[in-house]
Structure 1
Amino acid sequence: MALELEEQMNIAENGGYAKETLMVCDSSLDHKGGIPLRSSTGTRKAAFFIIAIEFSERLTFFAIASNLITYLTKVMHQDLTTAAKTVNCWAGVTTVMPLLGGFIADSYTGRFVMILLSSIIYLMGLGILTMSQFIPALKPCGDSKGSCVNPTKHHELVFFIGIYLLSIGTGGHKPSLESFGADQFDDNQLEERKGKMSFFNWWSAALCCGLVLGVTVLVYVEDNSGWGIANLILTVAMFIAIIIFYLGKPLFRYQMPQGSPLTPILQVFVAAMRKRKVPYPSSQDSFYEPENPQRGLLCHTDKLKFLDKACVVENDEITEGNKPSPWKLTTVTKVEETKLIVNIVPIWLASVLYGVLVAQGSTFFVKQSSTMDRKIGSSFVIPPASIQAFFALGMLFSVIIYDRIITPILRRKAGNERGIPILKRVGIGMFLSILCMIVAALVEKQRLLTAEKEKSKVLSMSAFWLAPQYLLLGIGDAFALVGLQEFFYDQVPDSMRSIGIALYLSVIGVGSFFTSFLIIVVNHFTKQTGKPWIGKDLTSSRLDKFYWLLAAIFGLNFCIFVLVAKRYSYKQKM
């Protein structure tokens, strides 16, 4: 308290410069509703509490998602095609729900409240999944002991309610938490701006640590001690993480919701349509932009000029004491924010197919591992899903090397704060996705040849043959996914940053849905030639051909992405 009082006195004595230095003047507030002190709020000390709950959530998500296809095939007794579509559908819903959660957070609840509400829903889902393994009537085989051919209807109902509650919780959790973490850094201050760029890298590092622990220790517990014990551990961990997050409340900086962020965009289109016959002005002096010290202003750009007419001032449109209707006249900044949304649509469309690659890591790659030799030493056998640890390690080391070595070198040589421009970073990841599918196709061909010779359920071929494709997948994600999350956070209007993170997550979600659609289409056409590429099990499938098809699709998509990225103009603030 004494420190805060001393800083307030310094502000009064030294004037505006001190205020700029000691206070955060980016429209954020502290937990009491006042202007935050720079020294006692935000930055890495606040980000720690946010990353802690992200670690717990990702630990839970990957422990369940990475082994879900195994649970569906071994406990629920679904065939490979049905199980893959079930996983992709659940993953799709889980990563598309953030669009709704992000909209509600930005418009009404604010990010902090949305994080707490969604965390409680997440905890409810975990509690239901835990009960489905311990309460006799809800167990897979009901009251009967031993194994059963088909699970009970009660277990199916409770199980799917539990995992879809996780989807709803993720819908509010993911877009709000990541954007809330980035909100702890002030873009107007150089060191904090650099800290925000590092934040996205360290955020992904925490995600990878949760993934490694989830697909190794927790998956091992699921396979050897039971899903009930694993779910109980995850429930307790999530409960503790929520408490830790709430303890950080005094350190956080808060952005208040400003109503629906879609309304200003609609106003721009309506005003532009009303003034479509107005001549385009020869000077920018005719554009409307009142001073607003609490709102960051954007520079005018020459793209999408038809929208500029929404901010053209006509005769007698502005009178003293009367504020113009936003449906007839909008500001330059609102027009430019609308242009931002229009401009990122092609980038989003060109990125969606990358979500197809992400879906492979938790479905077909895991099933391949289940048919291969997973021994370490003479007797220890790792669970099939644990091979995904190579993905996390590839991503983790890439993020650390990029943040600590590559970025500082490029900052010194190129003078660019980011090191590599965001979309170039994404493009590198997309190129690596092509290599990942080529390697996956070659490994699967070798696995099929081994299976044809040995005719056994578990082959002598080591599961560590899958390590190169998982490493490429992880390195690719360190460039593409981290780049996309930074792009969609940074390039959307400030009032839509939770929606921006949701747009990044929807890339993965739509990619998961597209994977299910692609499986149906591929099977439809390959059945006509005799043997479907994706059968009831891996022995009757030709995943190698499916992977070659994906490599070709990713190659074409990479070319499209490069063309779109070259035409993109980054956001420019005044």
Structure 2
Amino acid sequence: MKMSYFNWWSAGLCAGILTAVTVIVFIEDRVGWGVSSIILTLVMTISLVIFLVGKPFYRYRKPLGSPLTPMLQVFVAAISKRKLPYPSDPSLLHEVSEAKSNNGRLLSHTTHVKFLDKAAIIEDISPQALQKQSPWRLATLTKVEETKLIINMIPIWLSVLVFGICAAQASTFFIKQATVMDRHTAGKNSFTIPPASIYCLTAITLIMYVTVYDKLLVPFLRRNTQNQRGINILQRVGIGMFFAVITMIIAALVEKKRLHHLTEHNKPMMSVFWLAPQFIVLGVAEGFTLVGLQEYFYDQVPDSMRSLGIAFYLSVLGAGSFLNNLLITVVDSLADDFSGKRWFGKNLNSSRLDWFYWLLAGLTAANICVFMIVAKRFPYKSVQPSQVLADSSVSVG
């Protein structure tokens, strides 16, 4: 159930987005922004009531102090004991008993970032000395492994930022394209689709993807790979990045056709439904990568840092948007200096947005190669065998 949680959480979120870009946008265009604001206020009021009703039933994890302090202690202890030799057996590294682990899971030893193991080297094995030993001088093996988890996440985080740039196009340039295309459903006198409503294709695709993936694809893969998730988390993320490349290629081809269509005389504007393929494929890409990243960052962070894991995921989208703005500025400046033609003009008809999409496709393809190297070397969290059974039956909030 925990493995399916983020699939259905994302489906619920997309249901809200779907309602926003269809019903709410329609009311804003046809009735008024004031009416839509009243509706949104009522919706948030109902949401708050539901939240307050459910709050007493939420199971809180007891706070054990700052989750960042143990990481700092590991670094300080490792540096202070940097000249000590490594023990011949990892079992000689300091670890507390399960009874004293404060209901936290004890992690198994890994060979990555081996230098940090020195923080758990025992200098005096007497029980009295161990009890008096400062945590700034002696860390447990689990604390060392938790620090390694955070360090190992940094390359993964950096290697998925390009996907954040691709995802930013859906709410910016993709919508902007829709504003300059024919948005009538069946002729000039038919219903006109609001530009923002075209994003509903991504939301619908993601909801359909989640259903198929969770109910059909995962059980099938589980039988063939013997992996409870069907495929491991980073494989799922990588597949989504591949679909992001396809999205950018489709977007480039459609925009090139739109510009070519525009130069022909006596030709009406292209239908907005030409944008459907790029929105649909992007929905599949987000289903694989964004949902996979939510699960990855939540599952692989130390148990005491769940909120940090969600922050890692959200920062991919935030940092991706900032990098998108930076990339636009740099590319437009370089293009003007070298070729004398700007990629981003005063309007889309005087711009070369298709070139920008080709650039994103190339960057994402190159980034996939980097991601594959990083993901192949990434060690997943490994709980000590004696606690695997307990972990499978007790959820960690």
| SS of match in other structure, 2:236 | helix
The equivalent residue for 1:400 is 211
Counterpart AA for 2:52: Y
Q: Does the Cα contact within 8 Å between 1:366 and 1:384 map onto a contact in 2?
A: yes
Q: Please give the residue correspondences for 1:180-219 in structure 2 after superposition, counting only pairs within 5 Å.
A: 195-219=1-25
The equivalent residue for 2:175 is 366
How far apart are 1:211 and its partner, in Å?
Answer: 1.2
Note the alpha carbon deviations across 1:310-369, whole angstroms, 9 max, x for none: 011102675168342110001000000000011111110101111001110000000100
Counterpart AA for 2:364: F
Q: Please give the residue correspondences for 1:118-267 in structure 2 after superposition, counting only pairs within 5 Å.
A: 195-267=1-73
Give the Cα separation in 2 of the matches to 1:444 and 1:455: 19
Give the Cα separation in 2 of the matches to 1:519 and 1:235: 36
The equivalent residue for 1:3 is none
How far apart are 1:301 and its partner, in Å?
Answer: 1.0
Q: Does the Cα contact within 8 Å between 1:317 and 1:324 map onto a contact in 2?
A: no
Counterpart AA for 2:358: W
Give the Cα separation in 1 of the matches to 2:231 and 2:288: 10
Q: Does 1:548 align with 2:354?
A: no
Label 1:341 to 1:414 Cα distance change in 2 as closer, same or farther (>3 A).
Answer: same
Give the Cα separation in 1 of the matches to 2:180 and 2:333: 26
Give the Cα separation in 2 of the matches to 1:309 and 1:348: 26
Q: Please give the residue correspondences for 1:434-449 in structure 2 after superposition, counting only pairs within 5 Å.
A: 434-449=245-260
Stretch deviating more after TM superposition (438-447 or 531-540): 531-540
The equivalent residue for 1:306 is 115
Give the Cα separation in 2 of the matches to 1:320 and 1:516: 56
The equivalent residue for 1:527 is 336
Give the Cα separation in 1 of the matches to 2:366 and 2:126: 50
Give the Cα separation in 2 of the matches to 1:350 and 1:322: 42
Q: Does the Cα contact within 8 Å between 1:318 and 1:324 map onto a contact in 2?
A: no
Note the alpha carbon deviations across 1:125-182, whole angstroms, 9 max, x for none: xxxxxxxxxxxxxxxxxxxxxxxxxxxxxxxxxxxxxxxxxxxxxxxxxxxxxxxxxx
Give the Cα separation in 2 of the matches to 1:536 and 1:454: 22
* Percent pairwise identity: 54
Q: Which among 367, 386, 389 is matched to residue 557 of structure 1?
A: 367
Q: Which among 198, 220, 225 is matched to residue 387 of structure 1?
A: 198
How far apart are 1:435 and its partner, in Å?
Answer: 0.5
How far apart are 1:257 and its partner, in Å?
Answer: 2.5
Q: Does the Cα contact within 8 Å between 2:104 and 2:303 map onto a contact in 1?
A: no
Aligned-residue Cα RMSD (Å) equals: 1.5
How far apart are 1:396 and its partner, in Å?
Answer: 1.1
Q: Does the Cα contact within 8 Å between 2:124 and 2:130 map onto a contact in 1?
A: no
How far apart are 1:452 and its partner, in Å?
Answer: 2.0
Give the Cα separation in 1 of the matches to 2:375 and 2:12: 29
Poorly superposed stretches of 4+, deviation over 6 Å? none
How far apart are 1:247 and its partner, in Å?
Answer: 0.6
Q: Which among 109, 129, 134 is matched to residue 325 of structure 1?
A: 134
Note the alpha carbon deviations across 1:86-124, whole angstroms, 9 max, x for none: xxxxxxxxxxxxxxxxxxxxxxxxxxxxxxxxxxxxxxx
Note the alpha carbon deviations across 1:352-410, whole angstroms, 9 max, x for none: 11100111000000010011111123421010010001111111111110000001111
Counterpart AA for 1:538: L
- TM-score normalised over the length of structure 2: 0.92
The equivalent residue for 2:348 is 538
Give the Cα separation in 2 of the matches to 1:259 and 1:383: 50
The equivalent residue for 1:453 is 264
